[in-house]
Chains A and B, each alone.
Chain A
């Protein structure tokens, strides 16, 4: 029983060997044909992919794409190929039932149908159905010897032999096995021959024809030493060991056994070598990994260094930038402060000057009043009444001038300190001018000045009443001051524009040159040099006019010609009823 078990083991090994060789040798013609088909049907993407994967032994993908091709295409030829692909794929994946199904779906018109049969036979053999297998193999064997078939006839014969062996028809088995062996001897295929010899030996052994069997075992054993397959060597050796054991030749059997063990060991060794190699590889990988780690660490350090450098440089730059910025800011501030200081100095100087002039003027006025009053008393005592009248008029003029000066000063102060009340409203320009000129009528009469007033009654300006009065008063005052006796002063309006009303105060006085005019209109100038010696003036009045006009959003223009006269033109915003 033990013996038979061994034999079966041998068979299985052999048949597997055979099947392997079948797959290996039998493909060339078919492969070429498949490639041709692929070219022919290059539009069938799925088929192309299936065959590509088929050649790459990627069985799963082959299954997927062949399935897709099957569901999409009706081409019979392609279908056969696809079924073939699927069958082979299942076969290779050892899903023999599925493979069988697929093989059976291939139509008998398939040009490589014999291959299908071969595979079917092999499958049957594997499934321990030697009768079916025999049927398939015999069909293949019957194919004419001429013609090109890419299959190994010897292996077919061998397989038939195996079938018979399984069916225990030893004579037939012997016949086919020998036929196969002969063909293999011719082909000098020592690998297959070894298998064949072993099978033949087993054949005899099974029939208890030990004498016949042993030489074949021996032959197989000898031959096995020339081939590289450890598996085959091992089997051959094991067979020898079993044979010798059965012959009660234990020492020899032991040697074979030992040899068998060594083969097994060598297989193990090989495994060990592989393991060692693997270990070494792992070690090497570890080493490499370490190196890589070290390098990575180095890199990290470098990156950190670089980053540190970068950050510090950025910080330094920022610091530098901030420094520059603050430095420039400081310079700018200094400049501004300096400019302001200069401005303040100028303002202070003008203020001082103003103060001195004003105080001087006031002082002289009041002093004049004082002396005039003294004269007045004197004249009253001497009852010189005609002189009294002159003096009184003189006094009133001086008082008027001093009052105007004081008034201007007060207004100036209010304007500068923003303490004054300021409210812009609609004002009837003609009425305001009338009010102001009313106060000057007597003065002009005294100086025998011809006065004309022609202000349009339809002009309404948008201004603060009091400041407008101050402006007109000062301009009128100036006009009178700079006019000669028998001069002429006229106040009139020019046609107003869309936004402004223009009031002109014209005199036929001394006038001024362009430079003086420019100087008067300049923003900063405060006090102009007195040209007219007779007239008392500080320039404060005109400055006040300009400031007040500015506050009322108006403008001052001067048209003047020396010794002909001056036109002071004030532009005031018009009052608009809609707001």
Chain B
């Protein structure tokens, strides 16, 4: 389970310091603080980033919005972002609103508010609104990661690291090669969101990452995964074997 990488674009050191302090305290990984547009772009391309926090006004100019507009038109460059602003001026908002998905946070804000704003940005970006705050879910599934709300902050797990998922009631146990943890999401939901060519159900309670399979023992009703994890294969789901090219 990894921390979320955050890029902060903020020209006022006092405010960026507070931000860094709050986010670090909540297990976010700050990859950099950029006070200008160009620096922000540089950092954006150099580092791996999950979320960008953007101050609308950089040095009195709405460069923050320009930055959002720029990353919006870069292919595959889009990332969830949050605007910070102390002005409620409508004209600025109308312009900012065009950079979808749009979420903003009005200064001054407290710890809860910035964390909430980050969560909202992720939810909106991946089109799974209200995922973190509903009573039966705490995870947003993107194409390459799971964003999991843990306590007050977000964590992420690379989907390619997952060995298998064990469903237990309303919860899912995510088992990677190194970790095992519980997320709150229903089986049907996660099946919908996961790539169907990579993940297969082998049992009513098991979803398996196909790339991690080392052996399928049909006679013993077992699928053996990397790291010698054994997963039950029930008759009902045996058909999934057909998806593999079988050497004869």
Contacts and interface: CB of A to CB of B under 8 A. Distances in A.
Contacts of B111: 438
20 contacts: A414-B88, A419-B88, A419-B89, A419-B90, A420-B90, A421-B94, A423-B93, A423-B97, A426-B129, A431-B112, A431-B133, A435-B110, A435-B112, A435-B116, A438-B111, A438-B112, A439-B110, A457-B134, A458-B134, A460-B130
A430 B133 CA distance: 9
B106 interface: yes
A421 B135 contact: no
A431 B111 CA distance: 12
Contact of B133 (A414, A420, A457): A457
A371 to B, nearest CB: 26
Interface string B127-160: 0011001110000000000000000000000000
A233 B34 CA distance: 150
Contacts of B195: none
A428 B130 contact: yes
Contacts of A414: 88
B116 A431 contact: yes
B42 to A, nearest CB: 31
Interface string B223-244: 0000000000000000000000
Contact of A421 (B90, B112, B116, B133): B90
Contacts of B168: none
Contacts of A431: 112, 116, 133
A434 B130 CA distance: 16
Nearest to B90: A421
Interface string A421-457: 1010010101100110011000000000000000001
B177 interface: no
The list of the 9 closest CB pairs from A to B, nearest first, reads A421-B93, A428-B133, A435-B112, A420-B88, A435-B113, A438-B112, A421-B90, A438-B110, A421-B88
Interface of A: 414, 419-421, 423, 426, 428, 430-431, 434-435, 438-439, 457-458, 460, 466
A548 to B, nearest CB: 13
Given A421-B88, A435-B112, 14 more contacts: A419-B88, A419-B90, A421-B90, A421-B94, A423-B97, A426-B130, A428-B130, A435-B110, A435-B113, A438-B110, A438-B113, A458-B134, A466-B88, A466-B106
Interface residues of B, number: 17
Contacts of B93: 421, 423
B11 to A, nearest CB: 22
Interface string B102-124: 00001000111100100000000
Contacts of A466: 88, 106
Contacts of A421: 88-90, 93-94
Contacts of A419: 88-90
Nearest to A441: B110
A568 to B, nearest CB: 22
B103 to A, nearest CB: 9
B98 to A, nearest CB: 13
Contacts of A423: 93, 97
A426 B132 CA distance: 13
A481 to B, nearest CB: 20
B186 to A, nearest CB: 16
Nearest to B129: A426
Interface string B183-220: 00000000000000000000000000000000000000
A432 to B, nearest CB: 8
A435 B116 CA distance: 9
A460 B110 CA distance: 22
Interface string B170-189: 00000000000000000000
A389 B129 CA distance: 45
A423 B96 CA distance: 13
Contacts of B135: 457-458
A421 B90 CA distance: 5
A430 B89 CA distance: 27
Nearest to B116: A431
Contacts of A439: 110
A428 B116 CA distance: 10
Interface string B71-98: 0000000000000000011100110010
A75 B94 CA distance: 107
Contacts of B110: 435, 438-439
A43 to B, nearest CB: 98
Nearest to B109: A435
B227 to A, nearest CB: 37
A423 B106 CA distance: 14
Contacts of B90: 419-421
Nearest to A414: B88
A420 B89 CA distance: 6
A374 to B, nearest CB: 26
A421 B86 CA distance: 12
Nearest to A457: B135
B118 to A, nearest CB: 12
Contact of B112 (A426, A428, A434): A434
Nearest to A432: B116
A423 B97 CA distance: 10
A458 to B, nearest CB: 6
A442 to B, nearest CB: 11
B27 to A, nearest CB: 19
B64 to A, nearest CB: 15
Contacts of B133: 428, 430-431, 457
A426 B110 CA distance: 21
Contacts of B88: 414, 419-421, 466
A502 to B, nearest CB: 19
Nearest to B102: A423
Contacts of A420: 88, 90
